[in-house]
Chains A and B, each alone.
Chain A
Amino acid sequence: MELPPLKVIYFFGLLGIWLLSDSIFICTAHAEIKSITVSVDGVACPFCAYGIEKKIKSLKGVTEIKILLNAGTVTLKCAENKCPAFADVRSAVKDAGFTPRLMKITAHGTIIVDEAKGLLFKFNESDPPIPLTDLERNLKEKALLFAENNVRVELIAEVLRLDGDVWALSPKKVEEVAN
């Protein structure tokens, strides 16, 4: 049997490697999250906090980390088009030997209205939208307006774990993103 040309083998070989690599999955991670801030309980000393830096930095998509000991928060910035999953961030904090509490995100995306689920936040085309919950009246009106006009927004929200890997966002601020 005659083998296909070498270029074809290379092409499909590289395609296979790419498909099996993380890169394809990274695209499906929360692509438009700019930063995640976690309140961490139990952090008393800088030397102990190194474990958090080490574990968070090992997550794919993290470009920068800022630990504020007196505030008890850890903020990580995400690379363009990739950011670790919420559950992975919580696991990293636990593996460092501490307790993750409140998680906040700053994200870019659009707000959509679903008749059954209500307001949803859509990060991008590939990720499933996340429900928006516990909105104050003014914020809800603003969000509805942005949804109606299909405006790209910056959202600052608390991340709420509903069940297992099911999450919701409780918005604290919604602003239009300047183009």
Chain B
Amino acid sequence: MIFDQFISCLFVFFLVVLVQINSAFAHEPIFGLGPHVIFKGGVGIEVEIDSDRSSGNQNTKQELAIDTEIIYGITADLAATLVIPGILDMVGKTATEDQSSSGFGDLSLRLKYRFWRRDRPGLQDSAAIILGVKSPTGDENEKPRLGSGSIDYLFGLAVARESRRWYYFGDFRYRLNTEADQFKAGDKIFADAAIGIRPWLTEYLEPDWVFMVEMNWETQQRNELFGQDVSDSGGNRLFVSPAFFVTYRNWAVKGGVQVPVYQKLYGNQPEVDYRFALAMEFHF
């Protein structure tokens, strides 16, 4: 009986633990991840507008979405995040047809555990593991598809040094994609590094600005269809991403642009032109 309850708790724990991509906390990289968690019992709401555009090889893909994130501080070092993606407009254009769709995307759940922290006056070093799961809630019958149709997992490690003046972040993430309807998107590896500066050392209850530059590396394996590699899929990308944060007490506004500086994609694929994100976050 107790064993069953333990297994149930463990199952729920890992279900909650596993989540998706780059939902961020203020003062963390916009496109990468950091080890920040929210205070115990704290709730954070983040609304993020993000967009990306890819083009080339007679293909254009464009997406505009509003993602809502709900963050909860289970303990001072453990936070759960629910990500609800709302796709406002997803466009796919080829030489022969134009497609457009909108609606809810794939829901994600993430748990971040800050397993190490060293505090000194005006300085915090920390490291966290991130585990996530993405559920196939997006409509797969829409064209373009709003969801992958598969349950995908994310495993990550993030480290940071945050001081009053400088910020340093680094993370490594692995997204394990699973098969659905004989199709499997290639697994994805992310590696990010970021440096940030607070030009003005403001006090509490003053608007606070931080500027950051990120380097985001992405490697994706080839997709598989009926167990065979899809030739026009997978590859490597490197982005340089300037970002900003402005916060006041428990409010934050942040934004950034991902500019591709290197893309080596397999076969004929559209290349990313840009990605941007603008978010507002509120803690209470």
Which A residues fall within an 8 A CB radius of B?
Answer: 39, 41-55, 67-70, 72, 94-99
Q: Evaluate whether A44 and B162 lie within 8 angstroms (CB atoms) in the complex, with A54-B42, A97-B39 already known.
A: yes
Main secondary structure of the interface of A (DSSP, over half): mixed
Interface presence of B202 (CB below 8 A) = yes
Complex Cα–Cα for A54 and B249 (A)? 11
Q: Evaluate whether A51 and B39 lie within 8 angstroms (CB atoms) in the complex, with A44-B162, A69-B122 already known.
A: yes
Q: Residue of A at shortest CB range from B39?
A: A51
- Contact among A41, A67, A94 for B120, CB-based, below 8 A: A41
**Are B283 and A50 in contact, CB atoms less than 8 angstroms apart?**
yes
Q: Evaluate whether A48 and B27 lie within 8 angstroms (CB atoms) in the complex, with A69-B164, A96-B40 already known.
A: yes
Instruction: Chain B residues near A95: list those with CB within 8 A.
Output: 39-41, 76
Complex Cα–Cα for A79 and B123 (A)? 32
Q: How close is B251's CB to chain A, nearest CB, in angstroms?
A: 8
Q: Which 3 A-B pairs have the closest CB atoms?
A: A42-B119, A51-B39, A41-B119
**Are A47 and B247 in contact, CB atoms less than 8 angstroms apart?**
yes
Main secondary structure of the interface of B (DSSP, over half): loop
Interface size class of B (residues with CB under 8 A): 35 or more
Number of A-B contacts (CB under 8 A): 102
Interface presence of B89 (CB below 8 A) = no
Find the residue from B39, B40, B76 having the highest chain A CB count within 10 A.
Answer: B39
Q: Residue of A at shortest CB range from B245?
A: A47
- Contact among B27, B121, B245, B283 for A41, CB-based, below 8 A: B121
Instruction: Chain B residues near A53: list those with CB within 8 A.
Output: 204, 249
Interface residues of B in 23-52 (CB under 8 A from A): 26-27, 36-42
Find the residue from A67, A68, A72 having the highest chain B CB count within 10 A.
Answer: A72
**Are A51 and B208 in contact, CB atoms less than 8 angstroms apart?**
no
* Sample of 25 A–B contacts (CB below 8 Å): A42-B117, A42-B120, A44-B122, A44-B162, A46-B202, A46-B203, A46-B205, A46-B206, A46-B208, A47-B208, A50-B249, A50-B283, A53-B249, A55-B39, A55-B40, A67-B204, A68-B204, A69-B201, A70-B122, A70-B203, A94-B76, A95-B41, A96-B76, A97-B37, A97-B77
Instruction: Chain A residues near B77: list those with CB within 8 A.
Output: 97
Interface presence of B163 (CB below 8 A) = yes
Instruction: Chain B residues near A46: list those with CB within 8 A.
Output: 202-206, 208, 247-249
